[in-house]
Structure 1
């Protein structure tokens, strides 16, 4: 069963780690990332000089796959914004999303370790694929093994 856009947005708003993928001159990069859904699409934060930052900058686009169990959303599109990461506006909310009460302290450690190299990359999805096959299994009387 394919998610409608509204259902896939709701899934993306849940707390999941995504897998960012980008194609660079040296090959394809696929790494886990924290992400946040924003008005223009999906935002990720990484150091401009990191492998992720270089791959995204080089290609001008990236993809993100978010999966849990037998549900997934896959997005891909151009980078529509790159900007310096603002501690209070960008970094703290991202860290709090994933770490709760410890997020602000972690954000400060992250900022101190990386410094001025942190950037926010915003991707506007051009392609979206999504599915939730748990209902199909139930209709067929299949009980899949639980996934971690």
Structure 2
């Protein structure tokens, strides 16, 4: 029995709310950068991230043109999905509505309101990254008990 997720299973799993770790090739002989991020995803679509325009992460994204996003469930039995692919866009304009939508995914409506209010002016420093998943690695240990 394969523990790999089907296409539908992996897309549904990635669409759930998880904190992801995004990895991108490092520079100057350094190891790849791997950092936790919030993300958005709808089955069959692209992964979206919002981050600081002038961060090391964004500079590496621009240079590498590819990233890997890895998400893991925290309940036993474990599940994970890792998706790697090209960055299809780096949008230099982010709206407060886009930031709020991503924050509400993780914090709920009230939490998103507080998050946006806690950093006035931050939206102008953000970019939106889009990545198209091409290569997947998945495991679903819940299949052992089926």
Into which bin does the TM-score normalised by the smaller protein fall? 0.7 to 0.9
Among 121, 125, 140, which residue is 2:133 paired with? 125
Distance 1:115 1:106 in 2: 12
Superposition RMSD in Å: 1.7
Distance 1:43 1:130 in 2: 20
Please say if 1:85 is aligned against 2:94: yes
Change (3 A) 1:79 1:108: farther
Tell me which stretches of 4 or more aligned residues in structure 1 moved more than 4 Å: none
Unaligned runs of 5+ in 2: none
CA-CA distance at 1:18 after TM superposition: 0.3
TM-score normalised per structure 1 = 0.83
CA-CA distance at 1:24 after TM superposition: 2.6
Deviations 1:58-85 (A, max 9, x none): 1111110001242000001111011121
Deviations 1:74-112 (A, max 9, x none): 001111011121111x101000000002112202434x2
TM-score normalised per structure 2 = 0.84
The aligned length equals 136
